[in-house]
Amino acid sequence: MAAEQDPEGRAAARPLLTDLYQATMALGYWRAGRARDAAEFELFFRRCPFGGAFTLAAGLRDCVRFLRAFRLRDADVQFLASVLPPDTDPAFFEHLRALDCSEVTVRALPEGSLAFPGVPLLQVSGPLLVVQLLETPLLCLVSYASLVATNAARLRLIAGPEKRLLEMGLRRAQGPDGGLTASTYSYLGGFDSSSNVLAGQLRGVPVAGTLAHSFVTSFSGSEVPPDPMLVPAAGEGPGVDLAAKAQVWLEHVCAHLGLGVQEPHPGERAAFVAYALAFPRAFQGLLDSYSVWRSGLPNFLAVALALGELGYRAVGVRLDSGDLLQQAQEIRKVFRAASAQFQVPWLESVPIAVSNNIDEEALARLAQELVAVGGQPRMKLTEDPEKQTLPGSKAAFRLLGSDGSLLMDVLQLAEEPAPQAGQELRVWPPGAQEPCTVRPAQVEPLLRLCLQQGQLCEPLPSLAESRALAQLSLSQLSPEHRRLRSPAQYQVVLSERLQALVNSLRAGPSP
């Protein structure tokens, strides 16, 4: 697996990836003499997506990359000048040319940690004008990444820790980098790998894939490979004609299954042999190009048993249509019987992978039976990040019980002292008429200083480290909050002082 690397500046969103009104407002602020006013905005969401009670925070690495590279080039400023009023003061454009994030400070939930409604994922502070320009790109980078990571985490929870989950949604993604983002953050959220090669190259996501129906159907069976010989796995002994050996095995297999030896499609078998010649240690059969039972399965068994004679073990089969669960169960029975019949123990446990529109419901049925599943994560943009409505600059803490489980998150004013472990704390649940009392066994500050005056405060974790944090975080969540359907809502409460400030603002008309 390649190390994660900066993809030559490409993954950094460009400064003009922003809504025009951010630029018009920038001019408005500048004209009002407020360009350098101190400002802060918080990025949070109001509801968790997919009807769940948790969200994974993700996208921070892309935000940091974007902020550190943020600089309007001449061409950018010229373009803005072309869409702003022609009599705009040239000094405004000089101001834009000099902008960077050297005065911007960012606090953030670490990538892969749990985020709950109302708790900021990002706090961005700095001069008003530059902070305004950053809002749209940061929203764009965080919203989708968190959504995809959360979706992946839910599928991982359904599948359990052992099943292999492969993301393969590229062909339906929102354009090239839509796919890159989805693959990256599906991995962060708990998938094992992606079909997207670019995500492997640029982000270090493990990649996986074998063959498609088009490969199988492109063979007629009359092809003559230039070199049909395969050397045994041990590397010793003469090469063997794999196609010929598979043909011998086919007769045994068909006799065992009660099929005529002419029934399995010769083109499919030729495709399997071609693939096995190229990948003798990673042969997977795609079973449903023709008939699973009369063609795909016997052809797979013939080639897999031929490979097995040479010391190679097939890595599995894949189903891409029909009733996946029922077929998988029947295929397992066939493998067991063939394993006994041919005295080949490993055949019994050959992995069965399934794909094709696997959503949470389908996965829940499949997870009991199968070793590997792949498919396009279903995504629905239901979260709604909006700007701060609670007043003032805030701090956020997570309270844990003595068993390490999460109790609640507390929002308070930035200047308040942090809650102390073992000490009683009075807090206000949302909408409550009275405060309640909690005594946390542990207290974790949630927002970490990430960029200070444009400087990175600590190295970013690798994608794999963030992925591990995501799984750790989920394990700390109690089952009633982790439940995917009708979960209990995790509480985000306000400190007494923050609640008092909210009440005072509500009481009187603010002007």
Within residues 150-179, the interface with its own copies by CB under 8 A covers: 168, 170-179
Return the residues of window 120-149 that contact its own copies according to CB under 8 A. 128, 132, 135-137, 139-141, 143-145
- Report the distance separating Cα 347 and Cα 337, nearest Å: 9
Q: Is 506 in the site for its own copies (CB under 8 A)?
A: no
Pick the closer one to its own copies by CB: 225 or 429.
Answer: 225
Helix 128-159, helix 20-31: angle, nearest 10? 150
Q: Is 504 in the site for its own copies (CB under 8 A)?
A: no
Q: Which of 4, 76, 100, 360 binds its own copies (CB under 8 A)?
A: 76
Q: Is 461 in the site for its own copies (CB under 8 A)?
A: no
Strand segments (E) across 82-182:
105-108, 114-115, 122-127, 164-167
Q: Is 17 in the site for its own copies (CB under 8 A)?
A: yes
Pick the closer one to its own copies by CB: 201 or 442.
Answer: 201
Return the residues of window 463-482 that contact its own copies according to CB under 8 A. none
Rg of the chain over all Cα atoms, to the nearest angstrom: 28
Q: Is 214 in the site for its own copies (CB under 8 A)?
A: yes
2 DSSP 8-state letter:
P
HEC string for 267-314: HHHHHHHHHHHHCCCCCEEECCCCCHHHHHHHHHHHHHHHHHHCCCCC
CB of 504 to its own copies, least distance (A): 16
Q: Is 198 in the site for its own copies (CB under 8 A)?
A: yes
**CA distances in angstroms from 139 to 9, 173, 257, 488, 510, listed in the order given:** 19, 19, 57, 27, 28
Q: Which of 83, 91, 98, 234 binds its own copies (CB under 8 A)?
A: 83
CB of 435 to its own copies, least distance (A): 28
CB of 111 to its own copies, least distance (A): 15
Select from 354, 378, 357 the least CA-distant residue to 368: 354
CB 469 within 8 A of CB 448: no
Q: Is 3 in the site for its own copies (CB under 8 A)?
A: no
CB 247 within 8 A of CB 228: no
CB of 77 to its own copies, least distance (A): 11
- Report the distance separating Cα 8 and Cα 198, nearest Å: 13
- CA within 13 Å, CB half, 138: 30
Pick the closer one to its own copies by CB: 343 or 510.
Answer: 510
- Report the distance separating Cα 376 and Cα 148, nearest Å: 11
Q: Is 352 in the site for its own copies (CB under 8 A)?
A: no
CB of 199 to its own copies, least distance (A): 9
Six token digits for residue 152: 């992946």
Pick the closer one to its own copies by CB: 21 or 346.
Answer: 21
Six token digits for residue 187: 């991995």
Pick the closer one to its own copies by CB: 194 or 491.
Answer: 194
**Backbone dihedral region for residue 412 (phi beyond 0: left; psi -120 to 50: alpha; all else: beta):** beta
Q: Which of 197, 340, 436, 457 binds its own copies (CB under 8 A)?
A: 197
Q: Cβ of 112: how many Cβ atoms within 10 Å?
A: 27
Return the residues of window 86-105 that contact its own copies according to CB under 8 A. 88
| Three-state secondary structure call for residue 55 | strand
Q: Is 75 in the site for its own copies (CB under 8 A)?
A: yes
Q: Is 234 in the site for its own copies (CB under 8 A)?
A: no
Query: Would strands 193-194 and 164-167 be described as parallel, antiparallel, or unpaired?
Result: parallel
Amino acid residing at 64: V
Interacting residues of 187 by C-beta distance below 8 A, sequence separation 6+: 152, 167, 193, 194, 199, 203, 205, 206, 463, 467
Q: Which of 182, 367, 400, 492 binds its own copies (CB under 8 A)?
A: 182
CB of 426 to its own copies, least distance (A): 30
Return the residues of window 409-428 that contact its own copies according to CB under 8 A. none
User: Which range binds its own copies by CB under 8 A, 260-268, 358-366, 405-413, 445-453?
Assistant: 260-268
User: Which range binds its own copies by CB under 8 A, 244-252, 265-273, 396-404, 448-456?
Assistant: 265-273
Pick the closer one to its own copies by CB: 79 or 293.
Answer: 79
